Amino acid sequence: MNYTILKPQAEGPVMLLTISRPPALNALNSLFFSEMDSFISSVQDDKTIRALIITGEGKAFVAGADIAEMVNMSPDEGRAFSATGQAVFNRLSSLPFPVIAAINGFALGGGMELAMACDFRIASSNAKFGQPEVNLGLIPGYAGTQRLPRLTNLADALYLLTTGEVIDAATALQMRLVQKVTEPEALLDEARRLANLIATKGPMAVKLVKQVTRKGIEMNYSVAEMLEQQHFGDPFENEGAEGMKAFLEKRKPVWE
């Protein structure tokens, strides 16, 4: 695969994907979305991948969408650009394995929306977060208005969305936008540790946990309970049977 912005690197059961457009602070453009869509297609059925880490090259995770590409768009072209970004980020969220954002610097606008499309986020202590679209007279286009209040709360989401204020990693952690903050030099090591920890768990169980949790949060609680109940029995004849036998026999399970 020949990517010009995305650099995928397989590390055993973990895939590391680096966004590499440092002169533009890794800003998202049409080429990025095309490459990301192709990358997702190439990995979505790969059963050797147990977790994906996404990070940025240089001093930014992603500093936003490419304003130079957007400035002359018509309203309809803007809507199409939004639809493209939303579709790609939804595909990313739907991957069968966990996706971890390792946020090494600026995660602004579309960059924060990319991070929110991942399953969880860890950040360098020097990372910065924000949805500054209102500063340009715009609104988020890649589901920022929808994911942010679901990850934090309505008040914190509206605070960030209407002020355009940029917050630091400690504040993002307090808002539950990120799950962990590390020193800059430790960020990728910690992301790899978490990804490899996930890789030791039952792959079918991890896939089901992600699927049931993501679907269930959008459902009525009692309906979501039934969804969990329905899938609880799925692993019993294979992976779950091996995991329970291994526990009783005091050995490590052998996953298929």
Cβ(66)–Cβ(31) under 8 Å? no
DSSP 175: T
Say which of 113, 165, 183, 190 is annotated catalytic: 113
Q: Which of 11, 77, 133, 225 is catalytic?
A: 133
Rounded to 5°, angle at Cα 38 from 129 and 98: 55
Residues contacting residue 52 through CB under 8 Å, at least 6 positions apart: 14, 15, 16, 17, 43, 95, 97, 98, 99, 100, 195
133 included as an active-site residue:
yes
Is residue 218 among the annotated active site residues? no
Q: How many CA atoms lie within 13 Å of 11's alpha carbon, on the beta-carbon side?
A: 19
- Per 3-state DSSP, what percentage of the chain is helix, strand, and coil (rounded to 5)? 50, 15, 30
Q: Report how far residue 96's alpha carbon sits from residue 251's, in angstroms, rounded to the nearest whole number.
A: 27
Which amino acids are annotated catalytic?
113, 133
